[in-house]
Chains A and B, each alone.
Chain A
Amino acid sequence: MKILLGVVSGLALSASLAWAEPSGVFRQAHEVGSGSASSLDPISKGRVFQVTEKIMSRLVRPDMDGRPSPDLAVSWSANADATEWTLMLREGVTFHDGSTFGSEDVVYSLKRVLDPEMDSPARSAIAMINKVEAIDGKTVKLTLDNSFADLPLLLMDYRLRMIPEGSGDTIATTGIGTGPFKLVSFDAEGTTKLAANMDYFEGAPGVAEMEIIGITDGQARLQALLGGQIDMERGITAQQSVMLKGSNRFHIQTIPTGNWRGLVFRTDVAPFDDPRVRKALRLAADRQGMIDLVMGGGAVVACDSPVGPRDQYRADISCPQDVDQAKALLAEAGFADGIDIDVHVATLEPTWPVIAEVYQEQAAAAGIRVNIVQVPSDGYWNQVWMQKDAVATRWNERPADQALNEIYLSTAKWNESYYKDPAFDALLSQARQELDFDARKALYVRAQKHLWETAGTLIPYHVTRLVGTTARVGNLDAVENNAVRWHLVTVD
């Protein structure tokens, strides 16, 4: 009887799910970061990811814990040394224009990213893919330049979305994909409208329409949320969240991320070419104090590792402020009377000047005299960052391997601290080839501990993202954009 009841209620539940028509309009804003260069081409610099993430699918996507889970690829396997990967694709999936999704679309989409002529910013993320070929209609083989055990992690990149074969010239405006929503109209600076894709392979979405609205001003976005004109705003500051917390008309999600802001000291110029000086500079920081003062408590302490708090490869390091040791190291390096440094910041990232000021105060105790140089936000990335000896920086979350390789590998394009350490490079390369998870994790952990001893980058914390929604929003996964299952979202 119990079983029967269970079956009946189960049937009723699935029936109600199946019959639930998408309803309501979900509205969110985006900051129009690329202005008039905004595009729906997922791999272009001007991609509006708040739109592409809802209309296009990846091969692999992160699950709620950030691990690879099936999207358009249902399973994957590697050969013994992880140089060849075979992906089995989902069957019966159609693009928004009615055409069938198959291996040729995957080959086309990936080759497009790898094409040097396209010059896509996403290219460096998967540059180790040497050859992409279709075995049959639902199987794709990727051949790599060298062993890489965590390829599925890289395929989760938010830009690697599948588009129909041959659609490269038009995708920027048509936005045809296999995602839970279809494009109705695209207007980056105004309102972009999406409609539910009833044929979505994981079932019809919960809301009938989505509107992605361009609002450049952060204060205006918050006002729009307060006035109920938008339903969600990601990236609310600690100060702003006070306005939402007291009201039952809003909900706040707290999401630890791998995004970080910090200070970079170039390891190739004096005095920062001495690892003792670099470690002293980093030991002088009181990270929790910085979190409280700069972020209102909304961050997780990082010990100069770029690997986020929820990453499976994160090293467990402890790094309390140690003024005495910092002083001792400086004295050992020949700076017994302390040291003078210029740190360059801009308001491009509003927290930079604050971080610099807090650091100035904290480091003074260790005899580090910080002079803060305010520079214009305009041209910061190509005239200050990677040019001046000590600058502020910021990065968004990347999987451990990508973060370590893109920012610290001797040959990396974005090696902002000019960090060159053969021992560190060797650890990363070993980790990539290690197929056993525990052994691989041990190698990544060693690499991060190596950074804690020698790096020129002060990473005080990883930012915790606050997402504000109106109370009518339901089923929004409390994770970063990258992993949210948008088809589950509902509005009352």
Chain B
Amino acid sequence: MLAMLLRRLGLGAITVWIVSVIIFVGVEILPGDACTAFLEREAKGKLLENCREDLGLNRSAITRYAEWAGNALRGDLGVSANGQKQISELVGFRLRNTLLLASGAMLVGIPLALFLGIVAALWRDRPMDIMVSTTAIAAMTIPEFVSATLLILVFSVWLGWVPGIVLTSANAPLAEFFPEVLLPIGVLTLVMTAHILRTVRSSVIETMASDYAQMALLKGLPYWQIVFRHILPNALLPTINVVALTIAWLLGGVVVIETVFNYPGLGRMMIDSISDRDLPVTQAIALIIATVYVGVNLLADLLTMIANPRLRTVHMRRS
């Protein structure tokens, strides 16, 4: 088990490294650099030369990558391309804000999805199931920016209950994000609940059809005892991975939602830094997102293993 863990961690580190190379190359091959992005039509002659000199952009790409990677390994993410702010400081607040948004959506979304998924499965093909499933499919298929705009229209413009756009500064105390953060949380909850709910539903249905569940039923065990003792613990195992993917998606900064609501999180910062060609910031965010993906998935696999005795023993024997 320990060896497996170490191997997974090693693979995770390699994944993160590959992501950093891909992002670096990707931003490099985009036309223009930090100076042309900033100077626009003044990007000519001496002004451009001076700017490139100041930002060290006239050195080769490999030199710049090596320098960045060396510093990043020591935990120093450097300063933003214009040399004005420490990245750790900039990214710190954005990460916190994204966490606020993600945890809000998770706290509401995950219990809701589990509950609705189980209900839909237990009352399969009844009006309740049809209603829940149809709503879920609608929530999944309508793009986030459409549902976001609709929610803003209804709750902010028509009813005036909550502000539509987030105007709070990135580094404001968390309390100031209320009630502005409620609408974005609402939209995220809508999308993620639908995804998890459908997995839960099909998994529960599958487990109910399994031999041991049928056996228990035939033995005459009370229905609710079968559901809670035998079906749910087994049915919910596969959903751990879906939940993990959803969490990783949330923590990676939800670009579209953050842009529509003007929310100062990681996703919007990523977009802004790419259009500014601010490589250090882009790299730092990519690094964080990749680490979160790798970490959360690893955690999910471990949880599944701990919860499922069969997997546990198999791996134990192998290691």
Contacts and interface: CB of A to CB of B under 8 A. Distances in A.
Interface stretch (A91-99, A217-225, A275-283): A217-225
Given A36-B84, A190-B168, A220-B260, A379 B38 contact: no
Interface stretch (B29-37, B237-245, B294-302, B306-314): B29-37
A213 interface: yes
Given A227-B152, A227-B165, A220 B262 contact: yes
B210 interface: no
A382 B36 contact: yes
A334 B171 CA distance: 65
Interface string B49-67: 0100000000000000000
B293 interface: no
Contacts of B157: 223, 226-227
Given A36-B82, A37-B276, A217 B260 contact: yes
Interface in A174-210: 187, 189-191
Given A190-B172, A382-B44, A34 B167 contact: no
Given A35-B276, A190-B171, A119 B152 contact: no
Contacts of A190: 168-172, 264
A213 B167 contact: yes
Contact of A191 (B36, B42, B169, B268): B169
A378 B90 CA distance: 25
B287 interface: no
Contacts of A37: 38, 82, 84, 276
A310 interface: no
B272 A381 contact: no
A379 B164 contact: no
Interface string B256-280: 0001111010001000110110100
A376 interface: yes
B276 A216 contact: no
A28 B272 CA distance: 21
A291 B85 CA distance: 44
A229 B163 contact: yes
B38 A46 contact: yes
Interface residues of B, number: 48
B117 to A, nearest CB: 33
A413 to B, nearest CB: 7
A383 interface: yes
Given A35-B276, A379-B31, A383-B31, A45 B42 contact: yes
B87 to A, nearest CB: 10
Contacts of A437: none
Contacts of B31: 376, 378-379, 383
Contacts of A228: 160
A215 interface: yes
A216 B36 contact: no
B25 interface: no
A121 interface: yes
B4 interface: no
Nearest to A46: B38
B156 interface: yes
A189 B41 contact: no
A45 B82 CA distance: 13
B42 A121 contact: yes
Interface in B1-55: 30-32, 36-44, 46-48, 50
B85 A36 contact: yes
Contacts of A227: 152, 156-157, 160, 163-165
Interface of A: 27, 32, 34-37, 45-46, 119, 121, 187, 189-191, 213, 215-217, 219-221, 223-224, 226-230, 376, 378-379, 381-383, 385, 413-414
Given A121-B42, A224-B164, 10 more contacts: A36-B84, A119-B46, A119-B50, A190-B264, A191-B167, A216-B272, A223-B156, A379-B31, A383-B31, A383-B32
